Structure 1
Amino acid sequence: MTLGAGRIGRRGLLAAGTALGGGALLPARAVAAESGTDLVTVTPGDPRYPDLVRGWNQRYVGRPEAVHVVRSAAQVAAVVRQAVRQGKRLTVRSGGHCWEDFVLSPDVQVVVDMSAMRDVDFDPAMNAFVVEPGAQLLDVYERLYRTWGVIVPAGMCFQVGAGGHVSGGGWGLLCRRLGLVVDHLYAVEVVVVAADGTVRTVVATREENDPHRELWWAHTGGGGGNFGIVTRYWFRTPGARGTDPARLLPAPPPEVLVSAVSWDWADLDERSFARLVRNYGDWHVKHAAPDDPATAVCSMLSLNHVSNGAVGLITQVDTSVPGAARLHDAFLAAVSEGVTAARGPVRTRMGELTALPELATPRRLPWLQAARYLGTANPTTNDPTQKSDFKSAYMKANFPERQLRALYRHLHREDAANPTASVMLSSFAGRVSSVAQDATASAHRDALFKLAWMIWWNDPAEEENCVRWLREFYADMYADTGGVPVPNDVTDGCYVNYPDADLSDPRYNTSGVPWHDLYYKGNYPRLRRIKKAYDPRNFFHHRQSVRLPD
């Protein structure tokens, strides 16, 4: 296993498996002396501090002793080593989009900020594309596509950092055609801590003879903050041959067809609402196969609270597939069948997305323009006042009638008249389901679509009511299975990149199925063994991190 010599020399990275030693002080000068470069350290007296101790969800603001803005694996290792020696609680942040307080909880003393590690390049020595964890997804797309005409099928929101997104499995609008982002992950570089406190930097690949292959596997959906700090990812599609970079990852469609339509709540009675949601589920049941031409279609159905005024559907179709326009029209017709309310433009916010009235008529757009357009049409990304809460579920079948009634009932509750409150249904299956459940740590390969509950508020006085609505809605939705979507014939657990601390609270999860089985299903025991091998001290942990074996 070798690394690109040019990149190591330029970035000062350590070779795989190199042990790091020396130093006993946490101050930046001591860390910088060990890493051989200047390290940016921000402490409470620094004017930058308020910006660096909060992420996207303003509900959580940290109080660490220091935030280290690192620029190399060597700096990461030096910071980790000092924290180990001093017994400091350390967490890591890439894009700052964690939905819970796993990075910025009150007990965290040291934060490793990866935002300055944003390189996206081709590494000839690895014959793979290298992406640093601080790179935001839109930057990844811009660099890969403009330079080589390729892409990784990652998420939609432009600000999400690669670090946490990839390690949790990754979902995006190309998943039905190209699979998950981790299905193209070739290697990962991770700073880990041994039982004796020694810090080393390990490169793990998917090669069968790689002694660190299990560490690679853990980062194909095992979640962030569990095994170490990722300092680089490498991507190459399995089966890709040759050394031409343009042939080592998939190309996105040159153009996509994008539309956004809505149904006014004033025109939707309970029967029509149930028919709309049932139609959406039925379509995904019928078109789940990896080789179905309708894998070209990916969509998001936003079931907004009645105070929003409408329910909306955003659809994207890969136009490189023959008959793309017919696929689009057939999908909208299938979802609308038997719904008496007329379709109209999207004039209100849809979950995270803003109003999109200009897409009432389907638009054919170059892929990169569409990715930028939808990825930045998000009013939550730049609002420094918004707090939020979320929940998730995977569906393996269509909704039972009782769940349809629960959806309608809670979206009409008068005590929760918040127009941002919604449940977003998102397409899954297709190429995602062509990968075995244990081939990666992402276990939900049989799911047809997924759900995300969302609610935002600005006034702190609104938090109790917003969180209560979300909890009561979720508990009612899954009342038959202990308040959570346990893996069975209908539901299939939860998405680890949409973390929910309530899943590990016996007040809200009475199913007898632990939180880790909702996230990881049968892959959890293997993740625990990997945890013991690479983080035996449990140095990297949070409220729902992978636990060491008993």
Structure 2
Amino acid sequence: MVFYRNSIISDQQGFNRRWYAPNLEAVYLPTHATDVVEAWADVIANKKGSGGELQITGGRHCYENFVYNPKTKFIIDTTGLRDYGYDSRYGYYIDVGYGNWDMYRIFNNVYGLTLPAGSCYSVGLGGHLTGGGYGLLSRLHGLTVDHITAVDIVIQQDSSAPELITASASENPDLYWALRGGGGGNFGIITRYYFSDPPRSPATMYSDAFTFEWRTITSAERLGELLEGFSAYCSIQNDQELWSQFGIFHANHQAAKSISVIFYCFDVPSEGKTGSDYEAFLLDHISAMRRQFGDIAPLSDQPGNVIGHPWHGDTRSVAGPGDGTLRQYTYLEGVQNANGSGPNRFGKYKSAYMNKGFTPDMVEALYAGLTSTPVVGNHVPLDMSQSLCQIDSYGCAINELTADATPIPQRSSIMKLQYQTYWDNASPVGCDNQEQAQGHLDWIKGLYTDVYAVYGGYPNPYEDSSGTVDGCYYN
């Protein structure tokens, strides 16, 4: 019989401290896929988990309260599902109990392979991959779901008993399509992913960072020029020499005192991008970008804050050494350096995809939001130093598939945006400063609504005749 135990307090909260499951009673701890079948059957047999009372966890990084909420009474924790290997039918496999960093180490160290997955080390594969899977190698190799050849999943059909099945292009093909981007927990309990031909690991990661002090960004026009420069970089989709580069524009709130742009570049022998010639090409390209941005606003010689994903704290671990060269890591070192999730805090997130650069109205709204400080209570200003709009480069290999190839329809976007606001306080577990929280929630909702005001308050492509915005993920 599958092992389960009464819940302890660490079972009741995930990475985002906003969410808590005060009524959680028991946790099932499977170590094999058949244990998941047994656990789910036990919940059904004892009528334990109706109406959202049963939830699934892995890495516990869910942004919203889908798992940790007052309705949750029982959890199947997939952390114990930890096997990997090679299957002659479907290829390399890995169980969902592993996180991103586990996967990178196993695939690289055992097979010399990798996947274009996310950076945050502790994010679990179960929810991350079925949500799309996106990271620093995605411009070169697409989304992680583009490489999935099969999925083992426990499902329940109608009133029948739970069963373990495989979904692939030839077996349960509709479910296979849905699992490659349809989101975690929507169709059953995933236990294993398969990949027939994962890409070879890069040899080296190079990086550099540009920092601009907010005091030099004196107008929306100046911010718009910086965004235009980054958008121009992201819009170069046909030059495959640039696909192994990944840029992130950290449009931090003014309270963070700086804005940073980071480039991660990969030496990929399997793609012909390797050696001193490629390093010279990268250096020329990044140097040109540095000059271009420096013509818009003065480049700071001080480290800038890096508070989004991946979380670095500041730019010192990714900026070049200051002698005109790039910072260099082995691939695995580079992944480890860029795998920070940041401290456990309270947080709220929103997302958007863009097919084109920012319109003047969007820039004005973004500038207004990033330079405004909400006040709460007795005119107390909120600490907004951990709030930002993060703009990731996107597209390239991602856009080689059609919009209906997977449930991820954004196959023409050039940028992916992540609006983030974080706060912290000394509240006991399961509690928050509600006044502080509401101030941050109002700020991010207001910023998001204002940026996309002409499209109805969110990036609705059906209200955008210009083709600028391309929808969003869960918001």
Moved over 3 A (4+): 330-334
- Partner of 2:192 in structure 1? 232
- Partner of 2:83 in structure 1? 119
Distance in 2 separating the partners of 1:90 and 1:327: 51
String of CA shifts for 1:454-490, please: whole Å, max 9, x gaps: 1111133210111110111111111111211112401
Match of 1:283 among 221, 230, 233: 233
- Partner of 1:430 in structure 2? 396
- Partner of 2:253 in structure 1? 305
1:468 corresponds to which letter in structure 2? D
The alignment partner of 2:93 has SS state of strand
1:339 corresponds to which letter in structure 2? I
The alignment partner of 1:393 has SS state of strand
Distance in 1 separating the partners of 2:403 and 2:9: 42
Distance in 2 separating the partners of 1:345 and 1:360: 10
Distance in 1 separating the partners of 2:262 and 2:30: 38
Distance in 2 separating the partners of 1:346 and 1:165: 31
2:125 corresponds to which letter in structure 1? A
Distance in 2 separating the partners of 1:155 and 1:121: 21
Note if contact 1:294-1:327 (Cα within 8 Å) is conserved in structure 2: no
Structure 1 residue 145 corresponds to structure 2 residue 103: no
Structure 1 residue 450 corresponds to structure 2 residue 405: no
Note if contact 1:59-1:387 (Cα within 8 Å) is conserved in structure 2: yes
* Counterparts of residues 463-502 of structure 1 (less than 5 Å): 463-487=437-461, 488=464, 489-495=467-473, 499-500=474-475
String of CA shifts for 1:496-517, please: whole Å, max 9, x gaps: xxx32xxxxxxxxxxxxxxxxx
Distance in 2 separating the partners of 1:435 and 1:178: 11
Distance in 1 separating the partners of 2:105 and 2:402: 31
Distance in 2 separating the partners of 1:65 and 1:438: 41
The alignment partner of 1:468 has SS state of helix
Q: How many residues align?
A: 433
> Structure 1 residue 337: deviation in Å?
5.7
Greater shift after overlay, 68-77 or 162-171? 68-77
Structure 1 residue 263 corresponds to structure 2 residue 212: yes
Q: Sequence identity, in percent?
A: 25
| TM-score normalised by the chain length of structure 2 | 0.88
> Structure 1 residue 75: deviation in Å?
1.1
Structure 1 residue 254 corresponds to structure 2 residue 211: no
* Counterparts of residues 245-394 of structure 1 (less than 5 Å): 248-270=197-219, 271-285=221-235, 287-289=236-238, 292-320=240-268, 321=273, 322=278, 323-334=281-292, 336=293, 338-352=295-309, 353=311, 354-361=313-320, 362-376=326-340, 378-380=341-343, 383=344, 386-394=345-353
Structure 1 residue 400 corresponds to structure 2 residue 350: no
* Counterparts of residues 512-527 of structure 1 (less than 5 Å): none
Greater shift after overlay, 405-414 or 351-360? 351-360
1:266 corresponds to which letter in structure 2? R
Distance in 2 separating the partners of 1:431 and 1:303: 25
* Counterparts of residues 174-189 of structure 1 (less than 5 Å): 174-189=137-152
> Structure 1 residue 126: deviation in Å?
2.7
Structure 1 residue 57 corresponds to structure 2 residue 16: yes
Closer/same/farther in 2, CA of residues 115 and 68 from structure 1, 3 Å limit: same
> Structure 1 residue 437: deviation in Å?
1.1
Note if contact 1:297-1:327 (Cα within 8 Å) is conserved in structure 2: no
- Cα RMSD of the aligned pairs, angstroms, is 1.6
- Partner of 1:29 in structure 2? none
> Structure 1 residue 120: deviation in Å?
2.8
String of CA shifts for 1:392-449, please: whole Å, max 9, x gaps: 0000111110000111111000225410010100010110000111111211111111
1:304 corresponds to which letter in structure 2? N
> Structure 1 residue 193: deviation in Å?
0.5
The alignment partner of 2:80 has SS state of coil
Q: Which runs of 5+ in 2 are unaligned?
A: 321-325, 375-381, 426-431
Distance in 1 separating the partners of 2:102 and 2:317: 25
> Structure 1 residue 332: deviation in Å?
3.6
Match of 1:99 among 22, 45, 63: 63
- Partner of 1:520 in structure 2? none
Structure 1 residue 135 corresponds to structure 2 residue 82: no
The alignment partner of 1:301 has SS state of strand
Distance in 1 separating the partners of 2:43 and 2:291: 58
> Structure 1 residue 147: deviation in Å?
1.1
1:303 corresponds to which letter in structure 2? A
Note if contact 1:305-1:418 (Cα within 8 Å) is conserved in structure 2: yes
1:450 corresponds to which letter in structure 2? K
Distance in 2 separating the partners of 1:121 and 1:333: 47
Distance in 2 separating the partners of 1:200 and 1:300: 42
Match of 1:70 among 26, 30, 48: 30
- Partner of 1:108 in structure 2? 72
Note if contact 2:153-2:166 (Cα within 8 Å) is conserved in structure 1: yes
Distance in 2 separating the partners of 1:348 and 1:226: 36
Q: Which runs of 5+ in 1 are unaligned?
A: 1-31, 33-38, 237-247, 501-550
